[in-house]
Amino acid sequence: MSSTARSGLFVLACVAVAAAVFAGARAVGNDYVFFAGYTVLQFVVLATAWNILGGYTGYVNFGSAAFFALGAYSTVFLHKAYPLPIPLLIVVSAAVSGLIGLGMGYLTLRLRGAFFSIATLALAVVLQTLVVNWNYVGGARGAYVIRPAEIPELSLPYIQYLFAIMLGLSVIAVATARIVERSKLGYGFATIRDDELAAEASGVPTLKLKLIATTLSGALMGMAGAPFPYFIGYLQPSSAFALEYAVNSIAMPMIGGTTSWIGPLLGALLLGTLQQVTTVTISSAVNLLIVGVLLVGFVIVAPNGLIGLWQRVFSKR
C-alpha cells in the first residue's frame, strides 16, 4: 500500500475514533463530560503542535501560551468587530498564530537553540503586555464573550458543539503530525534534531525546514485557542497566557515520548485526564504541582517518555 493511501486510512480511522468518542460522550449525557473532554482535547492539540517543533526538530518552545492566546484573542477581536462562525474563526486564528510563528522563527532560529527558547518566553510576555494595554479586546479587565445556548441548525447544545469542534481539531493535529513525521519533511526535521551542522553540510535546507515547523506548530496552537473564549465565556489576559499551557504542552510530549505522534497524544490523554481528576478531588494548585514533578521526573528517569519505556520493556529479549 502506498504511503498516501495509508495516510488516508489513518485519517479515516481518526475520524471514526472521534465519532465514536462523540457518540460515547452523548450516551453518558452529562454536561461535565463535555467540559472535561474539551479541556483534555485542547491539550491534545497543544501537545501535538508543540511536538512538531520541539519533538521533531529539537527546538524547545516555552511560548505555547502566547500562540494559544493569539488564537483566543483573534476570536475576541473578531467577535467584537465582525462575528464569524467558529470554523472560520479557527482559520483566521491559525493564520495569525502561524504568521507570528514564522516571524518569531525568522528572528531567532539562526541562533543557538537556547536563544530560541528564551525568545519564545520573551514573546509571551511582550504579547501579554500588548493585550493588557489594548482596550479594544478588554485590556487587563478581560472581555465577555456571550455564547448562545445552542446551535439551532443542528439542535445541538453549545458545549457539545464546542466539544465536537475540539475533537475535529485533535484529528487535524494528530493527522498533520503523523503525515509530517512520515514525509520527507519529517526526515528533514529529524536530521536537524540529531545534528544540525551535519544536516546543513549535507544540503538540508535547515532554516527553511525550521521555519515550516514553527509556522505549522504556531498555527495549530492558535487553532486550539480560537474556540476558547466561547468555552470560558470571559477571557482575561492572565487566563489566556497562563503558564499552565506552556508547562503542559512541554510536559505532555515529554511524558508520552517526543519522537512520534503517539507520544503527545498519549501524554495529553493521560496527564489531561489526571489533571481533571485531581482538580476535582484535591485542588488545582496540587494538580499543577503534579505536572511539574512528573515533567522533571520523566526527563531525568525516562528521557524517551512512556514510548521509550514501552520499547525498553518489550523490544529487548
Partner 1 sequence: MGEVLSYDLLLNAVTAGLLLGGFYAAVTVGVSISFGILDIVNIAHPAFIILGSYIAYYANAQFGLDPIVTSIVALPAFYALGAAIYQVYYLSFEKRGQDSLRGLAFFFGILFITEVVLVLVFGVDYRYVQASYIETSLHVGIVDLPLRMLVPCLMSLVMLASLQLFLTRTFTGRAIMAVAQDQLALQLMAADPIRIKRIAFAISIATASLAGAFLIIIQPVEPSIGREYIGRVFAICVLGGLGSLPGTLIGAMLLGIVESFTATFYGPSWAPAVSFGLLLLTLAFRPAGLLGR
Judged by CB, which is closer to partner 1: 38, or 59? Answer: 59
83, amino acid identity = P
Candidate list 13, 16, 88, 130; residue touching partner 1; CB under 8 A:
130
Contact between 245 and 64 under an 8 Å Cβ cutoff? The reply is yes
Judged by CB, which is closer to partner 1: 62, or 230? Answer: 62
132 contributes a contact to partner 1 by CB under 8 A: yes
Tell me the three cell numbers of residue 44.
491534545
288 contributes a contact to partner 1 by CB under 8 A: yes
Q: What is the dihedral of CA 199, 204, 208, 213, to 10 degrees?
A: -60
293 contributes a contact to partner 1 by CB under 8 A: yes
62 contributes a contact to partner 1 by CB under 8 A: yes
285, amino acid identity = A
Element (H, E) at 150: strand 150-151
- Phi and psi of 130, rounded to 5°? -60, -45
Helices (H) and strands (E) in the chain, counts: 15, 4
Residue 143 DSSP SS3: strand
Element (H, E) at 217: helix 206-225
- In the complex, what is the shortest distance from the CB of residue 244 to partner 1, in angstroms, rounded to a whole number? 9
Judged by CB, which is closer to partner 1: 17, or 290? Answer: 290
Give the x-and-dash track for 237-276 against partner 1 (CB under 8 A): ------x--xx--xx--x---x------------------
Query: Which residues sit at the interface with partner 1, rule CB under 8 A?
Result: 54, 58, 60, 62, 107-108, 111, 113-115, 117-119, 121-123, 125-126, 128-130, 132-133, 140, 243, 246-247, 250-251, 254, 258, 285-286, 288-289, 291-293, 295-296, 299-300, 303
